[in-house]
Amino acid sequence: MRMSDYRVSLCDLRSDQLLDVLPLQSVAFDDYIGKTGSASGSIPIPNREIAARVRSAVTPGRTALWIERGREIWWGGIVWTASVTSDARGFLSMQVQAGGWASYLDHRILADSQVATAMDQYDIVRGLIAYAQNTPGGDIGIEVGTEVSGVLRDRTYSRYDVPRIRELIDQLGKVEGGFEWRIASYRDPESGRRTKRLILGAPIRTGTSEIVLTHPGPVVSYGWPVDATTVATAWQSRGATINSNQAAESRPLMSELLVDDQAIAAGAPRMDGSSDYSTVTEQRTLDDHARADHARAHAPRTIPEITVLVDGSISPALLGATIRLRIRDLWWHQGLDERYRVVGLSLTPPERGRPESARLYLEAA
């Protein structure tokens, strides 16, 4: 695959009307489950005609950027920053930075209070996205489904907290019994239309057959970080300050104190962790957050990453898929043979003799 086999389309964010197709050099893009992906690149400006086209097509905050490989869409998002630069020889280019579709929800604030009672958590998410897209100028074409989680939630979102919609969705998913979400980019197989669609799952899983990757072999390198800075054997979360008696001392809502007595008895040191949820006013909701946060802090954080050469089995469709990883080297001298779920992908297209490669971020399946 050559860089020329990649196509970069610039479109109007709201209508998705094609504005132009321009070359993009030094391209890099990534996508994840759990955080917003990004893309960057440089548009060369060799003459006045191209300069006029770039000026017309690229408007940060209003231009959508789609990256296609062959006929497949591999990434989509919004151009947020653009910088025209001139080097020492007078060659001009525009450096662009884009964020995935979820980044749009960072720029939308809930201006009307919302109440959900015994509502499926997926319906709450869809309701928040519908709120964003039903306001004038707010519809950027995010499509949603009808799947249900079977988990009912009570939530009250106050406009006086001026909450950002992406933050509300993230918090809703990060409770005990929560979920994952992302906005995927792909071409509709029937209509051929560029599509941005909300994906929900607990967790998100894709694919029906696992891919086997080996080192030595298709895996050209790997990293195995272990981070204990977030480990906690005791946890407490803090909520909103609630005080109906102005004469009394103001105190925040506090979750139950969670202590992993079993780990401490087994020799682990006491390490305390905490989290803040300044807009949470219900004890049950705060306790759900605390239990979920404590569960994530039980063990050192390990997100293995492997770098593979891109072939027919590697694409952004791997997000949520299960792979089987086999490694045999000095560290894994007895051999590693485990299954992992792909939770992130960072791709570097080929350029000037550099092979096309992808870095996959993994978690235990």
Separation of alpha carbons 195 and 199, rounded Å:
12
Tell me the β-bridge partners of 195.
Answer: 186
For 151-181, write each residue's pLDDT tens digit. 999 999 999 999 999 999 999 999 999 999 9
Report the Cα 19 to chain-centroid distance in Å: 27
Q: State which H helix or E strand residue 171 sits in.
A: helix 165-173
For 254-279, write each residue's pLDDT tens digit. 999 999 999 999 999 999 999 999 88
* CATH match of 3-100 with 2.40.10: yes
Q: State which H helix or E strand residue 211 sits in.
A: strand 211-215
- CATH architecture designation of domain 211-225+303-364: Roll (2.30)
Structure tokens at 146: 């009808």
Q: CB–CB of 131/172 below 8 Å?
A: no
> What proportion of the chain, given as a percentage, has pLDDT over 70?
97
Separation of alpha carbons 32 and 170, rounded Å:
14
pLDDT at 4 over 60: no
φ/ψ (deg, to 5) at 261: -60, -35
Write down the mean pLDDT value for the chain.
Answer: 93
Structure tokens at 259: 């202590």
> What proportion of the chain, given as a percentage, has pLDDT over 90?
80
What's the CATH number for 108-201?
Answer: 3.55.50
SS3 44: strand
pLDDT at 1: 44
